[in-house]
Amino acid sequence: MKEQHIIEVNKDICIGCSLCKNDCPVNNIIIKDKKSVIKNQDCIKCGHCVTICPTKAITMTGFDEPPIEFTKQHTLDSNELLMAIKSRRTIRKFKNKEVTSEIIEQIIESGRFTPSAKNAQDVSYIVLGDDKSKYEEIAVKFFRRIKPIVSLWMKDAKEVTIDDNFFFKKAPIAIMVVTKDKISGSLAASNMSLMAESYGLGVLYSGFFTSVVNNLPKLRKHLNLKSKGHVVTTLVLGYPDVKYRRTAQKEIANVRYL
Ligand SMILES: Cc1cc2nc3c(=O)[nH]c(=O)nc-3n(C[C@H](O)[C@H](O)[C@H](O)COP(=O)(O)O)c2cc1C
């Protein structure tokens, strides 16, 4: 985590119910004189103690915003969710229609609230808007240069036409997801895709652009990417200019129940 946060227990409000103690994943809370006591401040600051307390006695300092109180249970409709997942397609044709900054912020918000390993919250986002053709141009040049070499061992590469919009397909925005931990970044990207789709947007995970960014120092320099920043994926986003009418068939799941 970037900031120092202190977990505080308001002893006047704490009722010593032990809910926080019993839920703490690192056994960092004891009950003393019928009050919760935080053993040490060097924990992962997951916030379970804050979120489970029935009297709001536990708080964490150093955040810009207070916790959001739940006034109802937020659940997803399983059938709707599964059909949304099944009907999703990679979108490679986009309408010439802007994505508002409010929607972009909500997509990033869904990434921000995605769990990260050790609660590191070390996933960051680079939004490429109007200027993205500048970066695409560099990537296109690089791909055109390496295509003859790649074609030697990749049969499919020969058939691919690398036009000027090869990476971003004229989509209005692309969001690069950057982090050291690939799993945390991928989970954030997955939630972001779902969020984007809930706004009627289509998504292309651009593995090609991602691999150019991670391997071409010139492009990294242009994007001002630090040496530690690994781009996990690039989400190319916009309103789809294509309609799919049925699911694509998939292989049966390889599952073992033991
Ligand atoms: C990590 C990842 C990287 C991908 N990279 C590209 C890409 O660079 N260009 C592209 O056209 N499609 C890319 N795809 C899309 C896949 O080809 C696509 O998901 C697959 O063919 C299945 O099609 P569907 O997503 O429409 O179900 C990528 C998908 C994933 C998950």
Q: Whose CA is nearest to atom 10 of ligand 1?
A: 206
Which pLDDT score, from 0 to 100, does residue 257 have?
Answer: 98
Rounded to the nearest angstrom, the distance between the alpha carbon of 121 and the centre of ligand 1 is 26
Residue 2 has pLDDT above 70, yes or no: no
Write the CB contacts of 228 (distance below 8 Å, at least 6 apart in sequence). 180
| Average pLDDT value for residue range 23-47 | 96
Give the residue extent of every domain in the chain: 7-60, 78-238
**Dihedral sign from CA coordinates of 43, 229, 193, 183:** negative
Q: Whose CA is nearest to atom 16 of ligand 1?
A: 90
Quick one: fold of 78-238?
Answer: NADH Oxidase (3.40.109)
Residues 192-221: pLDDT tens digits? 999 999 999 999 999 999 999 999 999 999
Ligand 1, residues at Cβ distance < 6 Å: 89-90, 92, 204-208, 233, 248
From the list 176, 177, 196, the residue with the least C-alpha distance to 185 is: 177
Q: Which residue has the tokens 């530690």?
A: 228
From CA 257, how far away is CA 56, in angstroms rounded?
42
Rounded to the nearest angstrom, the distance between the alpha carbon of 190 and the centre of ligand 1 is 13
Q: What is the dihedral of CA 131, 135, 137, 138, to 10 degrees?
A: 150
The CATH-assigned architecture of domain 7-60 is: 2-Layer Sandwich (3.30)
Which pLDDT score, from 0 to 100, does residue 3 have?
Answer: 61
Of ligand 1's atoms, which has the minimum distance to the CA of residue 233? 1
Residue 109 has pLDDT above 90, yes or no: yes
Q: Whose CA is nearest to atom 31 of ligand 1?
A: 205
Q: Whose CA is nearest to atom 7 of ligand 1?
A: 206
Which residue did the predictor score with more confidence, 154 or 224? 224
At 156, the pLDDT band (50, 70, 90 cuts) reads confident
Of ligand 1's atoms, which has the minimum distance to the CA of residue 89? 26
Which pLDDT score, from 0 to 100, does residue 160 have?
Answer: 84
